Each structure stands twice: as C-alpha cells, then as structure tokens.
A and B are shown apart, each in its own frame.
Chain A
C-alpha cells in the first residue's frame, strides 16, 4: 500500500474529538457551543481546548453574542476548514480504494 495518503492526513483534524467537531460543523452552517457539547458528550474544558486548536489552525471561527441577555457562542467552519475537511475525506476514500481487494 502506498503510505502517501496516510502521511498526508491532516494531524489537526485527525484527532477523534476535533474530527467530531469538524464533522458536525460540516453539516450545519453554524452550531452553538452547547449543542456540540451535548451531542458529543464532551466537557466544557475539553471542547474549548479542541475549538481553540481548530481556531488556531484557521479551520473554525467563533462568534460570541448575546441572546436575551444570555451569552451565545457559535462556531462555524471557515473556507480553509471546509477545504481541509474535504481533503481529509478524500484521503480517507483513497486509503479505502488502495486497500480494497482487487
């Protein structure tokens, strides 16, 4: 098997928690912090750390606002995040194709 595809996998996305965040955001224009926390069963601290890592990589943008005097934090994928996620999926598909029995 050609290891090239595996080596090209984005290490930022490849981590389980961050991949879950990216997957959810890929299917929705934006999601609130609480929605992601509840769906992924993560602690506030864990989710915050993963979001910060993705934000630093330029894959995710965070918007803080207020809704009826309550803070509302929403996240969405940036253009770079969408591209990185698409590349990641394509690489996974390549790996599957390469290892398929002929």
Chain B
C-alpha cells in the first residue's frame, strides 16, 4: 500500500520535472509565419528567375535570416505577453539543440557563396542538404519540445533524402526540379501544414 503511494508520488515528481524542462510556447504562429514566408519566397524566387548558384544561395540566406528574425520577434512577444523571461532554460536548450545542424548548413551555404569553385556540393544541390540538416535540427530540438516536432523533423529528413535521390539521372524529369519550388514547397509547405494543425490542436493539448 505504502509502496504504491510512494511510487505514484515519484511518478508525479518525474512527470512534473520533465514537463518543467519542456519548451511550451505556442508554436502555431511561428510555424504559420515560416510557412507563409517559405512559400512566398519560393514563388518570388521562381517568378523573378533567380537562377545562378550564388544568387540562389544569397536569396535563400536572406529568406532564412528573415524567418529567424521573425521567429525571434514572435517568441519574444509571447514571453513578454506571459510575463516570462525570453531566454528561459527550455528556450536555451532548444536553441542549443538546433544550433549544430543549422551551423553546418550555414557554413555549406557560405562556402558555396564565397568560393564558386568549391565542389563538395553543387549550389543547386544544396536544398536537399539544407532540408536534411534542418530535419536533424528539429529532431534534436524535439527532445525538449512536444513530440510532434520530432515527427516534423523526420518528415524533413525523408523529404530531403527523397530529393537527394532525384539528383540521380535515373530519376528522369524529377532531376530538373526547380530549386525555388523545392525550397518553397518543402520548407514553406511543411511549416504551414504543421502550423495549421497546431493552430487547431495546440490550445486543447495545453489544457490537458
């Protein structure tokens, strides 16, 4: 009897400790913002005909920085609204988990941008590489967030791997997929879809 009671107490303690370490700000606005920005970025890049490798990388670096800055503003606004510190321990953990993969992606982009003869990756082969790395970053951050983020990360990884396969000549017409369509479709589309899903489910999940 006492054993059950003590074990239940320990279970409650464990659950609460895990919950307090989780990042729990609303993600729907951030996902929707990044989704809309990604899709708009894809359409603008495609219509404007940004074709050269360096222009492509520079353009998407600018879109990425805009996404990062906008997400930062949204998170900060939520923290202020809820009278909570912005740089809270869960936020710090999530940022630390995201950082390594995003750093590698940035370095790959930077090398392609400043060193045109760098032949590790072709500039237009970068999108699948970025998508896989972003998926890895989300999967790592998922350890400190709700489980859905890990699944989203895996979706990015699978999409990135699928796109890598399309670079193979055997993929036929898929190998000529426009880089802007890939970036807009995958980054924008997946973020927007997940943001809409969260918009309808996040509130009720937080209440349970």
Contacts and interface: CB of A to CB of B under 8 A. Distances in A.
A77 B10 CA distance: 19
Residue from B6, B18, B80, B86 with most neighbouring chain A CB atoms (10 Å): B6
A43 interface: no
B85 A23 contact: no
B82 interface: yes
Contacts of A92: 6, 9-10
A27 B88 CA distance: 13
B89 A28 contact: yes
Contact of A27 (B7, B20, B83): B20
B110 interface: no
A26 B17 contact: yes
Chain A interface size, as a band, is 20 to 34
Interface in A17-72: 19-20, 23-35, 38-39, 67-68, 70-72
Task: Name A's interface SS.
Answer: helix
B147 interface: no
A38 B89 CA distance: 17
Contacts, number: 85
Given A29-B89, A100-B3, A72 B17 contact: no
Contacts of B3: 95-96, 98-100
A67 B85 contact: yes
A72 B85 contact: yes
Contacts of B18: 27
Contacts of A35: 20, 24, 82, 84, 88
A31 to B, nearest CB: 6
Given A24-B16, A27-B21, A68 B82 contact: no
B55 interface: no
Contacts of A33: 83
Given A93-B10, A99-B2, A20 B16 contact: yes
A39 to B, nearest CB: 6
Interface in A69-102: 70-74, 89, 92-93, 95-96, 98-100
B19 interface: yes
A19 B17 CA distance: 11
B151 interface: no
A23 B85 CA distance: 20
24 contacts: A6-B2, A19-B9, A20-B16, A24-B19, A24-B20, A26-B17, A28-B89, A28-B90, A32-B82, A32-B85, A35-B84, A39-B19, A39-B24, A67-B85, A68-B80, A72-B84, A72-B85, A89-B10, A89-B13, A92-B10, A95-B2, A96-B10, A99-B6, A100-B3
